[in-house]
């Protein structure tokens, strides 16, 4: 930022300095030429033609320098066929006259005919009354004074712009340093947060960086959530593998005759658990991509076909908007619905009712799974989501079903809530998942 500001200031000051120098040079030169013009007008106004046909002044010119030899201010009148009529200041020199053209108006140019004395020359051709000769009136002045004024003006402009440029660069540097101050405060806050173990920036910061701080706190919260999800995921996997490993170790220690069958059976259980948790990890990655989508009706019907084979005596009913689409991968939705519907069939009394989108929420799609079983007491509904929690230990299972449902649903921004079914009298599971946007 400072380099860009310095470069831009330099470019602007250079352009402005050149423009100002040209303007001042033009102004000083114009004033200098105006003085020559006044002298030329005085010459023409004082000139007359005598009886001998030669030009003379009826009154002397006012500037004393015309009388001083080599004073730097000269005049001369020239006419074809006539002798030059020069000022005394020319002494033994003569101004070179370009008589090959006609100047009805004053003509100004620079001349270097005098060695070491550059001149500013103004001339004009005119026919005086009483004469048919075309006379050239010329006045010249040394450029020394003009060049000195231009040099002084240029020096003032250069030094002024140098000081101005340094001041602007210093101001830009201070502004940059001050403007980036809030970012330095953010950096110190992050360092302090890292050293104290806090998980968010709590220090009051300027409004300019508050959106950055909010995004940073959001990122930190997201990281904490991901770490918690990873710990939960690792705990679920450890709990799922602990029981099969214990069974295998007990069978091996006891030299059970069916050890091979036990190992194969428990290894299959462990493989299913590992596959599930790998799928859950993939769900986290798919959620980050943000392109997951699944049609709820198709997933529910597929799960019902599979569960009906296992629980052929249970009656399953499906109602609601089967065209609803949610932002979740089909495989993960099947996993969630499979756990909920299978639990309803396992612990229910023979009836399972699935309703899709009964609330008609514009942002979230609800899926209700109801059964006619004993339900879950209200004080136990929170605990049942813990890993390995089971209310009915007489039926097979790992105790991971509802915990997995909750974890996967929350990965996609959803939730799971337990309630009492008004129609069937058993448990009502309300699964809420975000709809696909657009």
Q: Please report the beta strands in 92-216, taking only residues with DSSP state E, as ranges in sequence order.
A: 107-111, 119-127, 134-142
The pLDDT tens digits of the residues spanning 42-52 come to 988 888 888 88
Show Cβ contacts of residue 371 under 8 Å, excluding neighbours closer than 6 positions: 344, 345, 347, 348, 349, 351, 352, 353, 421, 424, 426, 427
The pLDDT tens digits of the residues spanning 248-292 come to 888 888 888 888 888 888 888 788 777 667 766 766 665 555 567
**Whole-angstrom distance, CA of residue 87 vs CA of residue 67:** 7
Structural Rg of the chain based on CA atoms: 51
Cβ atoms 176, 5 nearer than 8 A:
yes
**Strand pairing partners for 208?**
none
The pLDDT tens digits of the residues spanning 32-45 come to 999 999 999 998 88
Burial of 369 (0-12, 13-18, 19+ CB in 10 A): buried
Q: Provide the sign of the torsion angle of the four alpha carbons 347, 348, 349, 350, taken in this order.
A: negative
pLDDT at position 101 is 66
Question: Among candidates 418, 324, 403, which has minimal Cα distance to 371?
Answer: 418
Separation of CA 171 from chain center: 24
pLDDT at position 256 is 83
Assessment of whether the complete model's pTM goes beyond 0.75: no
Place of tokens 């909750």: 406
pLDDT at position 398 is 41
Would you state the structure tokens that stand for residue 391, as one six-digit string?
A: 């209310």
The stretch 162-182 carries a mean pLDDT of 89
Separation of CA 422 from chain center: 55
Exposure string (b/e) for 162-181, b if CB count within 10 Å is 16 or more? eeebeebbeebeeeeeeeee
Would you state the structure tokens that stand for residue 177, as one six-digit string?
A: 């340093």
Residue 176 reports pLDDT greater than 60: yes
Q: What is the CATH number of domain 2-150?
A: 3.30.450
**Whole-angstrom distance, CA of residue 121 vs CA of residue 139:** 6
Provide the pLDDT confidence category of residue 299 given band limits of 50, 70 and 90.
Answer: very high
The length of the chain, given as a count of residues = 438
pLDDT at position 291 is 66
Q: What are the structural domain ranges in the chain?
A: 2-150, 229-288, 290-434
pLDDT at position 401 is 62
pLDDT at position 198 is 75
Share of the chain above pLDDT 70, in %: 92
Give the other-Cβ count within 10 Å of 227's Cβ.
11
The pLDDT tens digits of the residues spanning 88-120 come to 999 888 888 876 666 778 889 999 888 889 999
pLDDT at position 290 is 55
Tell me the fold of 290-434: Heat Shock Protein 90 (3.30.565)
Helical H segments across 73-137, by residue range: none
Cβ atoms 40, 137 nearer than 8 A:
yes
**Whole-angstrom distance, CA of residue 312 vs CA of residue 190:** 59
Show Cβ contacts of residue 78 under 8 Å, excluding neighbours closer than 6 positions: 84, 85, 97, 99, 135, 136, 138
**Whole-angstrom distance, CA of residue 93 vs CA of residue 80:** 18
For 70, 150, 212, 433, the CA distances from 29, given in Å and listed in that order, are 22, 8, 59, 83
**Whole-angstrom distance, CA of residue 294 vs CA of residue 326:** 6
Residue 425 reports pLDDT greater than 50: yes
Would you state the structure tokens that stand for residue 53, as one six-digit string?
A: 């046909």
What SS3 class is residue 79? strand
């Amino acid at each position: 930022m400072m380099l860009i500001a310095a470069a831009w200031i330099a470019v602007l000051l250079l352009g402005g300095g050149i423009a100002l120098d040209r303007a001042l040079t033009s102004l000083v030169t114009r004033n200098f030429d105006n003085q020559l013009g006044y002298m030329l007008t005085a010459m023409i106004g004082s000139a007359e033609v005598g009886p001998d046909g030669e030009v003379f002044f009826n009154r002397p010119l006012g500037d004393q320098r015309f009388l001083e030899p080599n004073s730097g201010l000269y005049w001369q009148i020239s006419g074809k066929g006539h002798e030059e009529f020069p000022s005394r200041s020319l002494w033994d020199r003569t101004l070179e006259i370009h008589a090959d053209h006609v100047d009805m108006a004053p003509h100004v140019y620079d001349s270097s005919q005098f060695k070491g004395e550059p001149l500013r020359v103004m001339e004009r051709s005119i026919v005086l009354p009483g004469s048919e000769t075309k006379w050239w009136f010329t006045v010249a002045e040394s450029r020394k004074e003009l060049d000195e004024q231009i040099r002084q003006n240029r020096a003032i402009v250069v030094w002024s712009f140098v000081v101005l440029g340094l001041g602007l660069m210093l101001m830009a540097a201070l502004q940059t340093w001050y403007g980036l101050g809030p970012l330095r405060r953010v950096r110190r806050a992050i360092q302090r947060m890292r050293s104290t173990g806090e998980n968010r920036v709590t220090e009051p910061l300027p409004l300019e960086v508050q959106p950055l701080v909010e995004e940073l706190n959001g990122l930190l919260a997201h990281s904490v959530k991901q770490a918690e999800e990873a710990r939960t995921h690792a705990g679920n996997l450890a709990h799922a593998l602990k029981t099969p490993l214990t069974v295998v170790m007990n069978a091996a220690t006891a030299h059970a005759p069916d050890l091979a069958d036990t190992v194969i059976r428990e290894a299959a259980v462990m493989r299913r658990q590992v596959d599930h948790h790998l799928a859950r990890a993939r769900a986290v990655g798919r959620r980050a991509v943000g392109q997951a989508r699944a049609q709820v009706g198709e997933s529910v019907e597929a799960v019902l076909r599979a569960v009906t084979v296992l629980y052929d005596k249970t009656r399953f009913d499906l109602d609601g908007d089967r065209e609803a689409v949610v932002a979740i991968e089909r495989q993960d939705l099947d996993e969630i619905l499979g756990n909920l519907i299978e639990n309803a069939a396992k612990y229910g009394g023979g009836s399972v009712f699935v309703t899709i989108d009964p609330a008609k929420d514009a942002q979230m799609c609800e899926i209700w799974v109801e059964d006619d079983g004993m339900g879950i007491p209200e004080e136990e509904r929170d605990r049942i989501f813990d890993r390995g929690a089971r209310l009915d230990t007489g039926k097979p299972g790992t105790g991971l079903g509802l915990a997995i449902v909750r974890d996967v649903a929350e990965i996609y921004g959803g939730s799971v809530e337990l309630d009492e079914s008004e129609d069937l009298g058993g448990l009502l599971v309300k699964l809420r998942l975000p709809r696909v946007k657009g």
